[in-house]
Amino acid sequence: MRVLITGISGFVGSTLASYLLGEQPGQPLEIHGAIHRADQRIHHLRDRLRLHKGDLRNPAWVDRVVELVRPALVFHLAAWSDVRASWDQPWAVYELNISCQLNLLEALRRHSPDAKVLAVASSEVYGLIDPSDIPIDEQTPLRPNSPYGISKVVQDLMAQQYWLNFGLHTVRVRSFNHIGPGQSDSFVASAFARQIAGIEHGLQEPVLKVGNLEAERDYTDVRDMVRAYWLALKCGEPGELFNIGSGTYFPVRHLLDILLDLSASEITVEQDPERLRPSEVPRIVCNPQHFARRTGWAPGISLRHSLTDVLHYWRGKTRIERENGTKAAPP
């Protein structure tokens, strides 16, 4: 069975590729990936993947790839994912998130009309959550409060429209926060872990910069999340919508405390105004019951386990950076 993963070299795409190659039982999958630029994250898998390099914003290129691959399953993961940076470059976010998905769905409609397609939105579509809406289920009103959230509403509704108008088997997920090894340090767990690793290696002062520590979020490990994506596509009816998250929540401060506890270094914590946002919802918690009932999914990896792996990842990366830096330095 042919699978196409857009954004395969990204944090979630590479984790999904590993999962599908390694653990997924059943018929063998031929995995194709759309990539924009090469990335270390899939380096170790590249012999087992068929990669197509290009830009999803280019409709002619997307059409060629989809015509060539004619996938049975599509995981559309290529997207702008940084909420905070979306206020600085709103048009870039709209252009990327909307045009990539539009080009993909148009090409699928032409060349692979029977494909099952996973469209990935976000808890950010709910935006300004009323406390009475918590935990957030699929019926919660959409009140997006960031350019990123708006772009994800469009992706979500566009996927529904392609089902309603053209009968394309789209399945929609609204994912809550996910963390794990390989994530960029634009996101909170990696932002903290990277600084801790830098401090441990003596690359920065023992001062850890943070943003809002009071925000409460629902965290799922990325490895549980990609398993959820697989189940969503396997079990989802055309046009069906799933909220995916753990159903539990913690303040950002709790992540910080765990990470500091995992390090032996003496570290001072300091708030950095640059890391604060124009608008922030105090608490976001998923109600995953619909998804759990339909698929049997439940997360298996604890927050502490995730954070241990995130810190391990950044320690390894920082060690390599330091070694390279040392080698590159003049004698």
Q: Which of 223, 243, 269, 207 is nearest to 121 (CA)?
A: 243
Is residue 112 close enough to count as binding ligand GDD by CB under 6 A?
Answer: no
Q: Which residues from 51-70 bind ligand GDD, rule CB under 6 A?
A: none
Is residue 210 close enough to count as binding ligand GDD by CB under 6 A?
Answer: yes
Q: Could you tell me the CA-to-CA distances from 69 to 19, 60, 158 in Å, in that order?
A: 20, 14, 23
CB of 185 to ligand GDD, least distance (A): 8
Beta-bridge mates of residue 178: 220
Amino acid residing at 253: R
CB of 166 to ligand GDD, least distance (A): 26
Q: Which of 85, 59, 68, 60 is nearest to 33 (CA)?
A: 68
Is residue 271 close enough to count as binding ligand GDD by CB under 6 A?
Answer: no
Among 123, 145, 155, 246, binds ligand GDD (CB under 6 A): 123
Is residue 124 close enough to count as binding ligand GDD by CB under 6 A?
Answer: yes
Is residue 145 close enough to count as binding ligand GDD by CB under 6 A?
Answer: no
Beta-bridge mates of residue 50: 32
Residue carrying structure tokens 């929540």: 249
For the purposes of burial, counting CB atoms within 10 Å of the CB of 59, is it exposed (0-12), middle (13-18) or buried (19 or more)? middle
Omega within 30 of 0 (cis) for the link into 206 = no
Instruction: Give the dihedral of Cα atoms 55, 60, 61, 67; nearest 10 deg.
Output: 140
CB of 101 to ligand GDD, least distance (A): 15
Q: Which of 112, 195 has the CB closer to ligand GDD?
A: 195
| Number of shown-chain residues binding ligand GDD (CB under 6 A) | 22
CB of 30 to ligand GDD, least distance (A): 28
Question: Could you list the residues that contact ligand GDD (CB under 6 A)?
Answer: 81, 83-84, 122-124, 175-177, 186-188, 191, 210-212, 215, 217, 252, 275, 277, 280
